[in-house]
């Protein structure tokens, strides 16, 4: 577990003026990692966000390489030392202000890509309110399957279709079968959806055949990022039995550019508890540290901007709010422990999706499937438009922020993607 230290001091200010602005996602207490480049043909550089700038770590003399995988594999002590050096160098009054100021780039003038190369991607299903709401649509009398409260459910996805925030994607085509149809048809998805998730980025891996115990699980996590697992609900309904999601999920998933480190999240830890009467985790999924502080209070939002809103200069509308600690039935540490209990090897940069993080109230749903009750109750925006599922030209943006009394507020930036029309056959 990461402990509070001088880097978390809420009184700290930075010589990067924009980092001190109220509501800034990237104050000096945050320091998230990502990759950027100043021209399309150049290699990716490793950067840290500070205010509305990004610091080139190699140019600042903090790294002697440009491979993000080498940063991800740093032991916890070395990661903490790097964070401390960044914090001290970016604080107001630092002697490094003059040399480091030449290593800053405006975020609006660089390309931000995926924060790291992702080798493998697993999507979990930790959102109990999402699982319950979706289950009620199909199994009103038995929404949660018997294994849900015993085992973290997940499926393996394709890392090849992970895309950086801001990248538009084409509406997918696949087989769809209407309830009253005798045969399926190949067609563009008519029930395209978003899923509000967090991404969990693996740091140091584990040896083949060696499970990671709960006590060491978080040592294998570099940090968290925003994640949107786009879903074609009509394709999913036809294909998911008996092996689960396939083409309904692997056409595009959007990842935000910044990884907020586990150490930066330390002030926002919360106790992890199960509702009274629920089974307690099996011993390999339990630790006292996890019970006392394994959850994270991260406030999440979903914003929708339609093409009509964009044309009129409207920035979009928030259609859902939830909180990671309230939504998740399993913790980050439990996902690592379960993923490796069979000896599965994790590698630096592997990504876990949390699963849809819906809150307990209907208006806190993290997908249109829930917000519209399976398409039966369209949501209405302030400009009069309605939605059951996403239309071409719609742009969805996820946002996340951590705040509590006595700590600085830190954010995750944004995770955006726009729907383009399906390709013609």
Catalytically annotated residue among 8, 129, 130, 220: 130
Residue written as token pair 């928030």: 318
Q: Collapsing DSSP states into helix, strand and coil, what is residue 409?
A: coil
Indicate if 8 belongs to the active site: no
Number of H helices, E strands in the chain: 11, 26
The conformational region for residue 23 under phi > 0 = left, psi -120 to 50 = alpha, else beta, is left
**Beta 253-255 vs 162-164: how paired, if at all?**
parallel
Residue written as token pair 């399957």: 145
- CA 177 to CA 65: how far, in whole Å? 51
**Beta 104-106 vs 253-255: how paired, if at all?**
unpaired
Residue written as token pair 């055949």: 209
Please check whether residue 399 is in contact with residue 379, taking contact to mean a CB–CB distance below 8 angstroms.
no
* Burial 264-278, CB ≥16 within 10 A → b, else e: bbbbbbbebeeeeee
Residue written as token pair 């083409």: 247
SS3 content of the chain, % helix, strand, coil (to 5): 25, 25, 50
Lookup: tokens for 23: 């509501």
The CA–CA distances, whole Å, from 47 to 108, 115, 168, 214, 277 equal 14, 9, 24, 30, 46
Lookup: tokens for 1: 């577990």
The CA–CA distances, whole Å, from 9 to 28, 29, 84, 266 equal 9, 7, 12, 12
Residues annotated as part of the active site:
130
């Amino acid at each position: 577990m990461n402990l509070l230290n001088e880097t978390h001091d809420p009184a700290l200010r930075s010589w990067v003026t924009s980092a001190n602005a109220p509501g800034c996602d990237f104050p000096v207490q945050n320091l998230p990692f990502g990759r950027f480049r100043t021209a399309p043909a150049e290699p990716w550089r490793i950067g840290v966000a500070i205010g509305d700038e990004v610091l080139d770590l190699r140019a600042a003399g903090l790294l002697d390489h440009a491979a993000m995988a080498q940063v991800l594999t740093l032991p916890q002590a070395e990661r903490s030392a790097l964070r401390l050096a960044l914090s001290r160098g970016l604080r107001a009054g630092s002697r490094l202000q003059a040399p480091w100021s030449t290593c800053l780039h405006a975020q609006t003038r660089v390309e931000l890509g995926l924060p790291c190369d992702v080798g493998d991607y697993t999507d979990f299903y930790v959102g109990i309110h999402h699982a319950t709401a979706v289950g009620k649509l199909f199994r009103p009398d038995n929404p949660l399957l018997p294994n849900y409260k015993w085992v973290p459910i997940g499926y393996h996805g394709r890392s090849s279709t992970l895309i950086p925030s801001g990248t538009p994607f084409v509406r997918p085509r696949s087989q769809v079968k209407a309830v009253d149809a005798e045969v399926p048809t190949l067609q563009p998805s008519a029930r395209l959806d978003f899923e509000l998730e967090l991404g969990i980025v693996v740091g140091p891996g584990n040896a083949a055949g060696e499970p990671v115990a709960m006590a060491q699980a978080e040592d294998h996590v570099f940090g968290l990022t925003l994640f949107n697992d786009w879903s074609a609900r009509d394709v999913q309904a036809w294909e998911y039995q008996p092996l689960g999601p396939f083409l309904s999920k692997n056409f595009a998933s959007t990842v935000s550019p910044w990884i907020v480190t586990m150490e930066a999240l330390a002030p926002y830890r919360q106790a992890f508890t199960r509702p009274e009467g629920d089974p307690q985790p099996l011993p390999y999924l339990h630790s006292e540290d996890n019970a006392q502080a394994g959850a994270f209070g991260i406030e999440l939002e979903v914003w929708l901007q339609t093409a009509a809103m964009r044309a009129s200069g409207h920035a979009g509308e928030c259609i859902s709010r939830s909180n990671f600690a309230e939504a998740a039935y399993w913790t980050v540490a439990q996902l690592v422990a379960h993923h490796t209990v069979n000896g599965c090897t994790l590698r630096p940069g592997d990504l876990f999706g949390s699963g849809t993080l819906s809150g307990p109230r209907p208006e806190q749903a993290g997908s249109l499937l829930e917000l519209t009750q399976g398409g039966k109750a369209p949501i209405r925006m302030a400009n009069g438009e309605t939605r059951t599922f996403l239309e071409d030209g719609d742009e969805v943006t996820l946002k996340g922020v951590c705040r509590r009394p006595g700590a600085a507020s830190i954010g995750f930036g944004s995770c955006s993607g726009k729907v383009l029309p399906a390709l013609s056959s």
